């Protein structure tokens, strides 16, 4: 199970008005755990008003930068990103899990590979990590970046990318596509859609020579670019994705748990919501909620039935249950009302659980 470590904030820099680059230093005991591959992300956790929030942010540093850095763009109403942009300062401590994610590729120092990457907005963070690493560690590699933004003033790492172009003269090509600011070349204005890609591939980018493509951005952009790349002959295995979803799930509010009801009755009425449908079943209190659901032909998810894997997780909306064992859920999940249904026995005469939350 993933573990959290404390990281010390050693630097906070604004890159644009509403985005910061945060430099972090793990303690000596965690240094090894935080060795990362270019393109990976960190998952942070922090309490806001007694409720734990977890957020993942991509590492923007290259392997040779000698630092651990993440880029955090402020999202409207986002608790963590607002905190990072407005309050975080040098000397603070953040808590994060070691680097994860497979938006990366093994390096081939002697190969002369051609890379093509697409980044939308803050989707530049992992792409920048990959770009810097590849250009430094693969001396014969070429890199083309298509970078989509709303306007000039929302381009994260704009100057740093210009510097990299000069540093790696002739090996790094950057095409800025801006949604609302007009540019000299009309093709570079608007959204990066499947059609726009097709036009780019006609005159500006030779897809046939591309060895690996990386796409990081929101859903529609990912789909459009992937379609265009495949239509131009790239295999699925040559395309790497990192989804920066518009909304991250898991912001559910704490559920209210009813006061303990009488424990007299041996049976309980369980209301189970699954796949958007709700069913009412009756079960003995000494039968786990999962077994009760399965006995009633409900297709409840489960795997280990030993409280280890967490596949059977669901949320108690009303009523109360007790878990015989819990080796998978963390305290914050339990405090929000989540249970492992394979281990959970109803305590109340009625209980409502939801597998869809």
Q: Which positions lie near another protein, rule CB under 8 A?
A: 1-2, 41, 43, 54-56, 100-103, 120-121, 148-150, 179, 191-192, 217-223, 226, 237, 240-243, 245-246, 248-250, 275, 299, 301-306, 308-313, 327-330, 333, 355-357
Q: Residue 59 carries which DSSP code? A: B
**Closer Cβ to another protein, 245 or 259, answer by number:** 245
**Closer Cβ to another protein, 164 or 225, answer by number:** 225
**Closer Cβ to another protein, 113 or 227, answer by number:** 227
Minimum distance from residue 299 beta carbon to another protein (Å): 7
The residues facing 175 across adjacent strands are 146
Minimum distance from residue 88 beta carbon to another protein (Å): 20
Q: Residue 160 carries which DSSP code? A: H
Minimum distance from residue 307 beta carbon to another protein (Å): 8
**Phi, psi angle pair for 125, to nearest 5°:** -55, -55
**Closer Cβ to another protein, 160 or 230, answer by number:** 230
Minimum distance from residue 178 beta carbon to another protein (Å): 10
Direct distance between the N- and C-terminal alpha carbons of the chain, in angstroms, rounded to an integer: 22
Minimum distance from residue 107 beta carbon to another protein (Å): 17
| Phi-psi category of residue 31: left, alpha or beta, with phi > 0 → left and psi -120 to 50 → alpha | alpha
* Helix (H) or strand (E) segment spanning residue 6: strand 5-16
**Closer Cβ to another protein, 307 or 319, answer by number:** 307
* Angle at alpha carbon of residue 327, lines to 322 and 331, rounded to 5°: 70
The string of DSSP letters for 199-251 reads HHHHHT--GGG-SEEEEEE-HHHHHHHHHHHHHTT--GGGEEEEE--SS-S--
**Closer Cβ to another protein, 144 or 310, answer by number:** 310
Structure tokens at 314: 């669901």
Collapsing DSSP to helix, strand or coil, 41 comes out as strand
Minimum distance from residue 146 beta carbon to another protein (Å): 12
């Amino acid at each position: 199970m993933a573990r959290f470590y404390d990281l010390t904030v050693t630097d906070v820099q604004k890159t644009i008005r509403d985005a910061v680059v945060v430099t972090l230093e793990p303690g000596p005991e965690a240094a090894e755990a935080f060795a990362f591959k270019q393109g990976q992300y960190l998952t942070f956790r922090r309490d806001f008003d007694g409720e734990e929030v977890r957020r993942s942010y991509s590492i923007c540093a290259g392997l040779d930068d000698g630092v651990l850095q993440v880029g955090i763009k402020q999202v409207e109403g986002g608790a963590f990103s607002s905190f990072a942009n407005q309050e975080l300062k040098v000397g603070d401590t953040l808590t994060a899990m070691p680097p994860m994610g497979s938006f990366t590729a093994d390096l081939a120092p002697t190969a002369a590979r051609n890379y093509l990457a697409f980044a939308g907005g803050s989707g530049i963070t992992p792409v920048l990590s990959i770009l810097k690493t590849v250009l430094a560690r693969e001396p014969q590699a070429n890199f083309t970046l298509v970078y989509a933004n709303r306007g000039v003033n929302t381009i994260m790492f704009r100057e740093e990318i210009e510097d990299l172009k000069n540093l790696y003269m002739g090996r790094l090509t950057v095409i800025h596509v801006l949604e609302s600011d007009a540019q000299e070349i009309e093709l570079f204005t608007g959204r990066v859609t499947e059609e726009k890609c097709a036009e780019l591939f006609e005159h500006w980018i030779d897809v046939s020579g591309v060895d690996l493509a990386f796409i990081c951005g929101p859903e529609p952009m990912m789909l459009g670019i992937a379609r265009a790349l495949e239509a131009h002959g790239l295999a699925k295995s040559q395309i790497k994705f990192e989804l920066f979803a518009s909304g991250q799930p898991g912001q559910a509010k704490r559920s209210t748990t009813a006061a303990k009801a009488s424990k007299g009755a041996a049976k309980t009425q369980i209301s189970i919501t699954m796949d958007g449908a709700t069913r009412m079943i009756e079960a003995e209190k000494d039968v786990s909620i999962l077994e009760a659901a399965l006995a009633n032909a409900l297709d409840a998810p489960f795997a280990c039935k030993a409280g280890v894997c967490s596949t059977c997780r669901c949320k108690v909306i009303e009523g109360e249950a007790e878990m015989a064992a819990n080796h998978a859920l963390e305290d914050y999940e339990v405090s929000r009302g989540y249970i492992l249904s394979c281990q959970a026995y109803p305590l109340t005469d009625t209980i409502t659980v939801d597998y869809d939350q």
